[in-house]
Amino acid sequence: MMFSQEKILNWQRDQYDHDMRNHFDILSLHKNDRLKHYAMHFAKYSGRLARGDAEKKTVQRTFVDALLVSLSAANTLHQILEYHPMRSNNTLFLRIADASGRFNDAGEKIDHMEPFLEIAKDGNQDIFNALLDFASTEDLDVEECLKTRRLELKQRQFFIR
């Protein structure tokens, strides 16, 4: 599966448009608070994956939700994502838990006025890589996953339709 730089940048642009229309409450937050919000999302997705079959939401749903948040986080970080296949022997859960833990560490460092930006960017890039590795392994149509989930999220905004 090919994920070109141009395609990924288009995903980021589409996510920005989606967020402006459907998640302005989050975009209105200070960037530091936005990063902490995304960190909580990543921790939530780690929990979903950790629960395995006991989790009601499918792994594919968690995949696409995490991908949307990774794109949003990249936009907040002024980060141009690139796909670097890693083909790790670790499970998606372990890779997401590791990278989201580092992303959360960056959020905590903000409160201590410690350097955080590179830690957040590295964690987000690793989450992104893990998600696209998963999509490749599972032969998922990422474009269709993003489109479908954004449409579902748009439907929740009763006053915007």
pLDDT greater than 70 at residue 161: no
- Which residues are CB-neighbours of 153 under 8 A, at least 6 positions away? 18, 22
| Domain region containing 106 | 5-155
For residue 146, what pLDDT is reported?
97
Could you report the per-residue pLDDT of 101-129, keeping only the tens digit for each? Answer: 999 999 999 999 999 999 999 999 999 99
pLDDT tens digits for range 14-47: 999 999 999 999 999 999 999 999 999 999 999 9
pTM summary value? 0.94
Is 161 within a domain?
Answer: no
Q: Is the pLDDT of residue 160 over 60?
A: no
Task: Assess if residue 30 is contained within a domain.
Answer: yes
- Determine the pLDDT at residue 128: 98
In a domain? residue 131 = yes
Q: Could you tell me if residue 62 is inside a domain?
A: yes
Q: How many domains does the chain have?
A: 1
CA-to-CA distance for 150 and 80, rounded, in angstroms? 21
pLDDT confidence of 158, banded at 50, 70, 90? low
pLDDT for 72-97, tens place per residue? 999 999 999 999 998 777 899 999 99
Examine residue 55 and state whether it is found in any structural domain, yes or no: yes
Residue 93 lies in a domain: yes
> Nearest Cα to 37, choosing from 89, 99, 104?
104
Evaluate whether residue 18 is within a structural domain: yes
How sure is the predictor about 134, in pLDDT bands with cuts at 50, 70 and 90?
very high
160 within domain boundaries: no
